[in-house]
Amino acid sequence: EADIYQTPRYLVIGTGKKITLECSQTMGHDKMYWYQQDPGMELHLIHYSYGVNSTEKGDLSSESTVSRIRTEHFPLTLESARPSHTSQYLCASSDPRGGTSTDTQYFGPGTRLTVL
Amino acid sequence: AQSVAQPEDQVNVAEGNPLTVKCTYSVSGNPYLFWYVQYPNRGLQFLLKYITGDNLVKGSYGFEAEFNKSQTSFHLKKPSALVSDSALYFCAVRVGTGGFKTIFGAGTRLFVKA
């Protein structure tokens, strides 16, 4: 079982609220990712990071932002939530520091967000 | 364009029968190929990967996958399906080393009937 954690697991909030989804990993991985997934559907990469102070937008346009101040922590923030943000958000990490890069990704359990 | 395709939205199989979940890819260079599984209300779990070497790769829970370069395929197989194998399966491909680009397929839902 991979050591990657996401909180909260479920979140229901009203439109316009600012929220932060937390993601932490204890595997010493350099790379971290955020995906958006509607239940049972395909994954869409929204943000990724190669390491501390490195963040990039993914393939899917997103109104969220991320930060990577510490290796183990990769929070995602929505400044003003809208019903269109309702989805599942999956965090993942890969590649131990100093190890051979294969990009095998280890996923957290996900946060299911509902914006009313 | 680089892509990965899972041609079946859903696969139905009876328990005890062999199962195959199909995946084809289109990338330049030598691909790294992966299978992930997602059980209901869970995140994705890594099943197996092909980097180089033997074309038949064995992974978790009795699954295996065969890399076929000429057909650009990486089908997931299991000799005898279990009801507990029912889940959503994703094929993924990454090209090269060091850089970033992993493409996930759209997913195939596997139903194993008792």
pLDDT in tens, B92-103: 998 655 556 788
Using the Cβ of B106 and the Cβ atoms of chain A, whether some distance falls under 8 Å is answered with yes
Q: Which two tokens stand for residue A63?
A: 């109104």
Ordered alpha helix ranges (H), A42-95? none
Q: Are A18 and A59 in contact (CB under 8 A)?
A: no
For residues A30 and A74, give the distance between their C-alpha atoms in angstroms, rounded to a whole number.
Answer: 11
Condensed to tens digits (0 to 9), the pLDDT of residues B48-105 reads 999 888 899 999 999 999 999 999 999 999 999 999 999 999 999 986 555 567 889 9
Counted across chains A and B, CB pairs separated by less than 8 A come out at 51
pLDDT value at residue B82: 97
- Chain A, 33 to 72: residues with Cβ < 8 Å from chain B are 40-43, 45, 48, 50
Nearest CB to B94; choose among A42, A103, A108: A103
pLDDT tens-digit profile, chain A (116 residues) = 558 999 999 999 999 999 999 999 998 888 999 999 988 888 899 999 989 999 998 877 778 999 999 999 999 999 999 999 999 999 999 976 555 667 789 999 999 999 99
* Vertex B103: Cα angle to B58 and A115 (nearest 5): 115
Chain B's closest residue to A49, CA to CA, is: B100
Q: Which two tokens stand for residue A99?
A: 């190890």
From A35's Cα to the closest Cα of chain B, the distance in A is 11
